[in-house]
Chains A and B, each alone.
Chain A
Amino acid sequence: MLKTTQLYSYHSLHSKLTGFAGYEMPLWYTTTTDEHMAVRSSSGIFDVSHMGRVLVKGESAPSFLEGLLPTKVQAQEVGRAFYTLLLNDRAGIIDDLIALRTGEKEFVLVVNAANREADISHMEQHALAGVEIVDLTDSSAMVAVQGPRAEEALQPLTPLDLHSLKRLRCAEAEVMGQRSIISRTGYTGEDGFEVVVLDSSVETPGKAIDIWAALAAVSKPCGLGARDSLRLEAGLPLHGTDMDQHTNPLQAGLGWVITAGKSDYVGSDSVSATRASGPDVVRRGVVIDEGIPRHGFQVLDGSGPLGLVTSGTFSPLLKKGIALCRLKPERTKPGAEVSVSVRDSTKTGRVVTTPFYDESHYGWKRANGN
């Protein structure tokens, strides 16, 4: 039996539904392309209530997370939102997450729906006295507002001055009168916000449905189809597809997440060892001239196999097939000519830097971005 989110009544009327990580979620409302382009040119909203939200608080919360995360937690001031990883002893990626430092001794971790239980059990294994771990997933809703006009869509619903909430910052605020946490974060490559609506359950949703309806009047509801094509076009990896417990951060192209010089976290020895020898595989972006690359397709050049596509799709902006790949580091630098085996034919393409789009025209760095 699939679980539903606080916004199910809207989705069941307006979208094609699909099962995802145990939840019945919208796949699309109109078309994936239409929703994708709305986020790139204006704004779109996503129900991300299925994602896990875990509160970590208490006297030892900062030192607990310092021992767990490859990010220097002490350097993250209250009000920071930071992307980080949960690693196992061998530095395999248990999950990737956004951590919100909501207080001196309080953090909210936003984790992948499919990994929530594994994440919590990993945290409990390493827990210290003076740390409380509270799963907020069922008692909160979460909506992402993404795109160059996201601020304009969300601002009327909250007294918080969104213009002064900079990228990768978070703040507690009321949204339509309901206690919420707003962060300037997202998974589309665009400027935008994620709103955790607190004190909202499926049975007692509070203002969650009203917030969604108010946003839907000015911003395009988007399903999981567009969420995937947007993140891929932005070159953002997806846990479970582009990386997993058998991939370390350097193999996954996430070495930048590790704070330089940090060496006191779970998995740090393995990270150091990989750093010393160099990773055997790396994450690369590939564009092909014809056809659409998909998970598992082989990437090769004239001298032989180079690795595999970990996720691929059709880019609505480039109008070409794009892929994140796990490739040998040699012969795959940006600009390298490679091919992808697409079923029974071989399609030519090249290694590129990500995001796949031109950042002067799309994404949060574009002119007028925040």
Chain B
Amino acid sequence: MRLGEYDVPDDLWYTKEHEWARKTKGQTVRIGITDYAAKTLNDVVYVAPSKPKDAVVQFQSIGTVESIKAVSELYSPVSGTVAAVNGDLESHPELVNKSPYVEGWLIDVVATDFASDCGRLLGPKQYAAHLETLLKQ
């Protein structure tokens, strides 16, 4: 769905801090930042995510993403172990702006218990409602 200028895909889970999570295969969950987060940062110029084999905990830091002006902390939607990072972002961090949900993904995590993590995440409708509240402020 779309909310103003922001794209909110219907098949993802979200955090209130504007990360998304998508189950790919097995227990692997792909993580990125939302269109709203990317547009708010304006132009992502540097991404420093957690590294493969790092243990991550739901809602704890998994690195930073930076625009020219600002640093934004990344929070993991799930708990588990980092399996891969998007190496393309090293030379092309602007992919986060161009394609936040596909080419601009950040890390893959093998989740320990995705089902229970989801219980604490927002669905697309809830995230859209959360965004709407933010935009009204």
Interface, chain A (partner B; CB < 8 A): 16, 27-28, 31-34, 36, 225, 228-229, 291-292, 294, 313-314, 316, 321, 343
Contacts and interface: CB of A to CB of B under 8 A. Distances in A.
B64 A32 contact: no
Given A291-B48, A294-B71, A32 B66 contact: no
A225 B69 CA distance: 7
A292 B43 CA distance: 14
Contacts of B43: 31-34
A313 B66 CA distance: 10
A291 B69 contact: no
Contact of B68 (A16, A291, A313, A343): A313
Interface string B48-83: 100000000000000010111101000000000000
Given A314-B66, A343-B64, A292 B71 contact: yes
A32 B48 CA distance: 20
Contacts of A291: 46, 48
B69 A32 contact: yes
Contact of B45 (A228, A292, A294): A292
Nearest to A225: B69
A316 B68 contact: yes
B69 A228 contact: yes
A290 to B, nearest CB: 9
Nearest to B71: A294
B42 A292 contact: no
Contacts of B66: 292, 314
Interface residues of B, number: 12
B69 A292 contact: no
With most chain B CB atoms within 10 A of its CB, the pick from A31, A32, A294, A321 is: A31
A31 B42 contact: yes
A99 to B, nearest CB: 30
Contacts of B42: 16, 27-28, 31-32, 225
Contacts, number: 41
| 10 pairs of A and B residues whose beta carbons are closest in the complex | A31-B43, A314-B45, A32-B68, A33-B43, A225-B69, A229-B68, A314-B68, A292-B66, A31-B42, A292-B46
A321 B42 CA distance: 18
Main secondary structure of the interface of A (DSSP, over half): mixed
A33 B67 CA distance: 9
Nearest to A32: B68
25 contacts: A27-B69, A28-B42, A31-B97, A32-B43, A32-B67, A32-B68, A32-B69, A33-B45, A34-B43, A36-B68, A225-B42, A225-B68, A225-B69, A228-B68, A228-B69, A291-B46, A292-B45, A292-B46, A292-B66, A314-B46, A314-B66, A314-B68, A316-B45, A321-B46, A343-B64
Interface of B: 42-43, 45-46, 48, 64, 66-69, 71, 97
B40 to A, nearest CB: 9
A282 B66 CA distance: 28
B118 to A, nearest CB: 30
A294 B64 CA distance: 13
A338 B97 CA distance: 32
B18 to A, nearest CB: 16
B12 to A, nearest CB: 25
Nearest to A33: B43
A229 B48 CA distance: 21
Nearest to B68: A32
A40 to B, nearest CB: 14
A37 to B, nearest CB: 11
A343 B71 CA distance: 11
B81 to A, nearest CB: 19
A349 B97 CA distance: 28
With most chain B CB atoms within 10 A of its CB, the pick from A27, A229, A294, A314 is: A314
A316 B44 CA distance: 11
B68 A33 contact: yes
Nearest to A294: B71
Contacts of B46: 291-292, 314, 321
With most chain A CB atoms within 10 A of its CB, the pick from B45, B48, B97 is: B45
B70 to A, nearest CB: 9
A28 B66 CA distance: 16
Nearest to B66: A292
A228 B69 CA distance: 8
B69 A313 contact: yes
Contacts of A343: 64
Contacts of A32: 42-43, 67-69
A312 to B, nearest CB: 10
A292 B64 CA distance: 11
Given A27-B69, A32-B69, A33-B43, 18 more contacts: A31-B43, A32-B42, A32-B68, A33-B45, A225-B42, A225-B68, A228-B68, A228-B69, A229-B69, A291-B46, A292-B66, A292-B71, A294-B71, A313-B69, A314-B46, A314-B66, A314-B68, A316-B45
